[in-house]
Amino acid sequence: MPHWEHIRNGHVVSINAGQDVRGRWSWSYTIDGDGYTEMRDRPLKSADAARLEAELDANVKADRLPAGDAVE
């Protein structure tokens, strides 16, 4: 299962992608280890597509939070 992390607005975004038996990809993420979000109802064709979609979704949520103190 691929895993990526990045900092957005001072928050740690942790993304996972998983592949089902048909080769389709879903994603999940947490922000600062909290608030688990998952997408399984619209499987994607690649891990990169799953990562991009998860990053876009997570970044919107992180930007709505007060600035955190995580640094790279």
pLDDT in tens, 25-58: 999 999 999 999 999 999 999 999 999 999 999 9
CA torsion 68→62→53→1, rounded to 10°?
40
Asked if residue 12 has pLDDT above 90, the reply is yes
Predicted confidence at residue 72, as pLDDT, reads 83
**Average pLDDT of span 59-67:** 98
3-class DSSP assignment, residue 50: helix
pLDDT of the residue at 70: 96
How far, in Å, CA of 63 to CA of 19, rounded? 28
Q: How far is CA 44 from CA 1, 5, 40, 47, in A?
A: 15, 20, 9, 8
Q: Where are the domains of the chain?
A: 3-63
* pLDDT confidence of residue 31: 99
